[in-house]
C-alpha cells in the first residue's frame, strides 16, 4: 500500500526548524505512529534535520570564551554505557520478536530517563522555605530535577503519599500543552499528574504514591494528559 | 576542504572516542563546531552570557552522553546544531512569553523583525560551506526566505509567524516546506 507522506513531510520540515507548535505536534506524533515502521518517514526526518543543521553554518563563527572547553572537561562523564554497548543494546532490541519501532523508541527514551544527575541546593532551600510555611507536615526528602532551563524540584516523605512540586523559570510548554509528571518504577512510567506553570512558576501538591519509584521525569504533553509519555523528558530526577 | 563523507566519518569517530573518555577527541569536536554553535545561540537569544551557557550546556551533554547520538537520525553536526538550536529556541520563547506582558514586547519584536539575514549574506571571503549555505538561502524566493529567517534564525513558531505576518498558518507551513525542499536540492549532499 502506498501511503501519502505529504502531511508528515510538511510537519517534519517545520519540526526540524523548531517551529512546530499547537495541535500539529500531536498530529505529527499520531501520523508517525500510524505509519510505523516507515522508512520514508525516517528518510524525510533525517533529510530535514540535515538541512536545518546546515543553516547554522551560514552564520559567521563567534569564538567561545577561553576556558570553556576546560570547564566542560572538568565535569565528570556520566554516561549510561559506552557507545559500543549502546549499539549492542540496539541490536538486541532489533532482534526482539513482536516489538515495533514505537516500542523500541519508547525503551530508548526510558533508558535516557535514568540520566538524572547533580544537586541544586538553592532549589531545595527555597522549596524548604515554601513548604515550611504550608504546615507542620514537612517532607524530609528534597530532590532537584535536572533539565535544560528553569528550576524544578520535589519534596516527599518516604512511605507517605503525596509529593510537593515546586518550579521557577520554567519554559511555557506551549499552546495546548502541559507538563506531565511520571514516576519510573521498574522500567515502567507511571502517570503522576499534569502540571501547568503560571508565569513560569509552579507550587503544588500531587496526591500520588511514589511507591518503589526509582526516578522521576517530566515530559511536555497535550492537555489531554496521555496515559503514557509521547515525548522525550525535559526534566529528570533520581530518587535514590 | 574535506568531502562531506569524510567530515561525517571523522565526527562519528570523534563521538566514539569521546564515549571512551578521550579528552583530545572532545577538544577536536569542540574546536570544529563550538564557534558556529555559539554564533547560532547568540543569533537567537541575543544575550552573550545566555548564549555561552547554551553552548556550554550543549557540549557538556555531548561530553556526558555520547550515547544520545543516533547515527540513523543524521550527522553529528546536525545533531549538535539541532541541540543548540532547540535550547536557544526554548530560551527565546520563554523570554517572549515574559515580554508579551509588557509594552516593551512590541518594540523589541519590531527590532528583531528588522534584523534579516541580509547582514549575513553581505559578508565576503567565506569558507566554502558558509558560502554554499548563504547562496542557497539567497536563492530562495523572498517569501520563503523570510519564513526560514523567522523560524530558524529568529526562533519563532509557525503560529507566531502567521500572527506576525498576517499570513494564514497553512501558507506559513507550505512556504516552509517549499523552502526546505529547495535548500535540500541546492545544498544536496555536499558539505564542508
Q: Is the pLDDT of residue B106 over 50?
A: no
- Asked if A60 and B39 come within 8 Å (Cβ–Cβ), the reply is yes
The 10s digit of each residue's pLDDT in A151-180 is 888 888 887 778 888 888 888 888 778 888
Structure confidence at residue A131 (pLDDT): 53
The 10s digit of each residue's pLDDT in B110-164 is 333 333 333 333 333 347 888 899 999 999 999 999 999 999 999 999 999 999 9
- Asked if B65 and A86 come within 8 Å (Cβ–Cβ), the reply is no
Q: Answer for the pair B18, B62: CB distance below 8 angstroms, yes or no.
A: yes
Q: What is the mean pLDDT of chain B?
A: 83
Q: How high is the ipTM of this complex?
A: 0.83
Lowest mean pLDDT among A4-13, A69-78, A97-106, B182-191: A97-106
The CA distance from A210 to the nearest CA of chain B, in Å, is 27
Instruction: For residue B77, give the C-alpha cell.
Output: 553536526
Q: Tell me the pLDDT band of B100, cut-offs 50, 70 and 90.
A: low
The 10s digit of each residue's pLDDT in B22-63 is 999 999 999 999 999 999 999 999 999 999 999 999 999 999
Whether A201 and chain B come into contact, CB under 8 Å, resolves to: no
Of B1 and B98, more confident? B98
Instruction: Classify burial at B5, counting beta carbons within 10 Å of its beta carbon; exposed 0-12, middle 13-18, buried 19 or more.
Output: exposed
- Asked if A20 and B36 come within 8 Å (Cβ–Cβ), the reply is no
Rounded to the nearest 10°, the torsion over CA A26, A31, A32, A35 is: 160
Structure confidence at residue A87 (pLDDT): 41
Whether A133 and chain B come into contact, CB under 8 Å, resolves to: no
Distance of alpha carbon A69 from alpha carbon A50, whole angstroms:
25
**Mutation site, A5, A10, A11, A17, interface B, largest B CB count within 10 A:** A17
Q: Answer for the pair A204, A195: CB distance below 8 angstroms, yes or no.
A: yes
Residue B189: other Cβ atoms inside 10 A: 9
Q: Is the pLDDT of residue A138 over 80?
A: no
Of A120 and B94, more confident? B94
Distance of alpha carbon B91 from alpha carbon B68, whole angstroms:
22
Of B34, B74, B137, the CB nearest to A50: B74
Residues 6+ apart with CB under 8 A from B99: B105, B108, B109
Q: What is the 3-state secondary structure (H, E, C) of B24-93?
A: HHHHHHHHHHHHHHHHHHHHHHCCHHHHHHHHHHHHHHHHHCHHHCCHHHCCHHHHHHHHHHHHHHHHHH
Whether A68 and chain B come into contact, CB under 8 Å, resolves to: yes
Q: Tell me the pLDDT band of B3, cut-offs 50, 70 and 90.
A: low
Chain B residues touching residue A21 (CB < 8 angstroms): 157-160
The CA distance from A103 to the nearest CA of chain B, in Å, is 16
Rounded to the nearest 10 degrees, what angle do helices B76-99 and A39-55 cross at?
70
Structure confidence at residue A100 (pLDDT): 32
Of A58, A77, A112, the CB nearest to B133: A58
Structure confidence at residue A83 (pLDDT): 42
Q: What is the 3-state secondary structure (H, E, C) of chain A?
A: CCCCCHHHHHHHHHHHCCCCCCHHHHHHHHHHHHHCCCHHHHHHHHHHHHHHHHHHHHCCCCCCCCCHHHHHHCCCCCCCCCHHHHHHHHHHHHHCCCCCHHHHHHHHHHHHCCCCCCCCHHHHHHHHHHHHCCCCCCCCEEEECEECCCEEEEEECCCCCCEEEEEECCCCCCCCEEEEEEEEECCEEEEEEEECCECCEEEEEECCCCCCCCEEEEEEEECCCCCCCCCCEEEEEECC
Residue ranges and CATH numbers for the domains of chain B are 1-114 (1.10.1740.10), 117-192 (1.10.10.10)
User: What is the chain B residue with the closest CA to A75?
Assistant: B60
Q: Tell me the pLDDT band of B2, cut-offs 50, 70 and 90.
A: low
- Asked if A72 and B72 come within 8 Å (Cβ–Cβ), the reply is no
User: What is the chain A residue with the closest CA to B90?
Assistant: A171
Chain A residues touching residue B66 (CB < 8 angstroms): 79, 83
Structure confidence at residue A19 (pLDDT): 95
Q: What would the mean pLDDT of B52-81 be, rounded to a whole number?
A: 92
Of A117, A148, A172, the CB nearest to B97: A172
Structure confidence at residue B167 (pLDDT): 96
Structure confidence at residue A221 (pLDDT): 84
Whether A82 and chain B come into contact, CB under 8 Å, resolves to: yes
Q: Answer for the pair A216, A195: CB distance below 8 angstroms, yes or no.
A: no
Q: Is the pLDDT of residue A235 over 80?
A: yes
The 10s digit of each residue's pLDDT in A19-75 is 999 888 888 988 888 888 889 999 999 999 999 999 999 999 999 988 999 999 998
CA angle centred on A50, ends A46 and A54, rounded to 5°: 175
- Asked if A83 and B37 come within 8 Å (Cβ–Cβ), the reply is no
Q: Answer for the pair A165, A181: CB distance below 8 angstroms, yes or no.
A: yes
Chain B residues touching residue A65 (CB < 8 angstroms): 52
**The A188-195 sheet, strands edge to edge:** A146-147, A233-238, A215-222, A177-185, A188-195
Distance of alpha carbon B27 from alpha carbon A70, whole angstroms:
9
The 10s digit of each residue's pLDDT in A72-117 is 999 877 654 444 444 433 433 333 322 333 333 333 333 333 333 3
Q: Answer for the pair A162, A206: CB distance below 8 angstroms, yes or no.
A: yes
The 10s digit of each residue's pLDDT in A193-230 is 888 888 788 877 788 888 888 889 998 888 777 777 88
Distance of alpha carbon A88 from alpha carbon A82, whole angstroms:
10
Q: Is the pLDDT of residue A124 over 80?
A: no
Q: Is the pLDDT of residue B108 over 50?
A: no
Structure confidence at residue A7 (pLDDT): 93
Q: In the beta sheet, which residues pair with residue A215?
A: A184, A238
Distance of alpha carbon A164 from alpha carbon A138, whole angstroms:
10
CB contacts under 8 A, A 161-200 vs B, are: 169, 171-172, 174-175, 199-200
Residues 6+ apart with CB under 8 A from A116: A145, A146, A215, A216, A236, A237, A238
- Asked if A17 and B151 come within 8 Å (Cβ–Cβ), the reply is yes
**Backbone φ and ψ of A2, nearest 5°:** -90, 120
Amino acid at each position: 500500500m502506498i501511503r501519502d507522506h505529504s502531511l508528515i513531510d510538511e510537519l517534519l520540515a517545520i519540526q526540524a526548524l523548531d517551529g512546530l507548535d499547537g495541535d500539529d505536534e500531536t498530529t505529527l506524533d499520531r501520523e508517525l505512529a500510524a505509519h510505523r515502521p516507515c522508512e520514508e518517514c525516517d528518510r524525510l526526518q533525517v533529510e530535514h534535520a540535515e538541512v536545518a543543521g546546515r543553516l547554522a553554518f551560514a552564520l559567521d563563527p563567534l569564538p567561545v570564551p577561553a576556558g570553556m572547553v576546560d570547564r566542560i572537561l572538568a565535569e565528570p562523564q556520566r554516561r549510561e554505557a559506552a557507545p559500543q554497548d549502546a549499539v549492542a543494546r540496539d541490536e538486541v532490541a532489533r532482534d526482539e520478536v513482536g516489538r515495533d519501532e514505537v516500542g523500541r523508541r519508547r525503551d530508548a527514551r526510558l533508558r535516557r530517563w535514568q540520566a538524572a544527575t547533580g544537586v541544586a541546593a538553592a532549589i531545595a532551600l527555597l522549596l524548604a522555605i515554601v513548604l515550611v510555611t504550608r504546615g507542620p507536615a514537612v517532607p524530609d526528602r528534597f530532590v532537584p530535577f535536572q533539565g535544560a532551563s528553569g528550576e524544578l524540584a520535589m519534596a516527599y516523605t518516604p512511605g507517605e503519599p503525596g509529593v510537593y512540586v515546586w518550579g521557577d523559570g520554567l519554559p511555557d510548554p506551549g499552546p495546548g500543552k502541559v507538563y506531565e509528571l511520571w514516576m519510573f518504577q521498574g522500567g515502567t512510567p507511571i502517570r503522576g499528574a499534569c502540571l501547568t506553570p503560571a508565569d513560569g512558576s509552579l507550587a503544588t501538591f500531587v496526591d500520588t504514591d511514589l511507591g518503589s519509584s526509582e526516578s522521576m521525569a517530566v515530559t511536555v504533553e497535550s492537555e489531554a494528559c496521555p496515559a503514557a509519555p509521547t515525548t522525550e523528558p525535559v526534566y529528570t530526577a533520581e530518587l535514590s | 576542504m574535506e568531502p562531506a563523507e569524510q567530515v561525517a566519518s571523522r565526527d562519528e569517530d570523534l563521538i566514539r572516542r569521546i564515549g571512551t573518555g578521550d579528552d583530545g577527541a572532545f577538544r577536536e569536536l569542540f574546536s570544529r563546531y563550538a564557534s558556529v554553535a555559539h554564533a547560532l545561540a547568540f543569533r537567537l537569544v541575543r544575550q552573550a552570557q545566555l548564549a555561552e551557557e547554551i553552548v556550554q550546556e550543549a557540549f557538556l551533554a555531548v561530553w556526558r552522553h555520547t550515547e544520545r547520538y543516533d547515527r540513523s537520525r543524521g550527522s553529528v553536526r546536525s545533531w549538535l546544531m539541532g541541540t543548540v538550536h532547540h535550547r536557544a529556541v526554548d530560551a527565546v520563547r520563554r523570554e517572549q512569553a515574559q515580554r508579551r506582558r509588557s509594552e516593551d514586547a512590541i518594540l523589541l519584536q519590531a527590532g528583531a523583525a528588522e534584523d534579516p539575514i541580509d547582514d549575513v549574506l553581505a559578508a565576503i571571503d567565506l569558507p566554502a560551506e558558509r558560502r554554499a549555505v548563504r547562496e542557497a538561502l539567497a536563492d530562495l524566493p523572498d517569501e520563503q526566505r523570510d519564513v526560514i529567517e523567522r523560524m530558524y534564525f529568529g526562533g519563532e513558531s509557525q503560529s507566531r509567524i502567521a500572527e506576525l505576518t498576517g499570513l494564514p498558518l497553512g501558507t506559513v507551513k507550505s512556504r516552509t516546506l517549499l523552502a526546505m525542499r529547495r535548500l535540500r536540492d541546492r545544498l544536496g549532499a555536499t558539505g564542508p
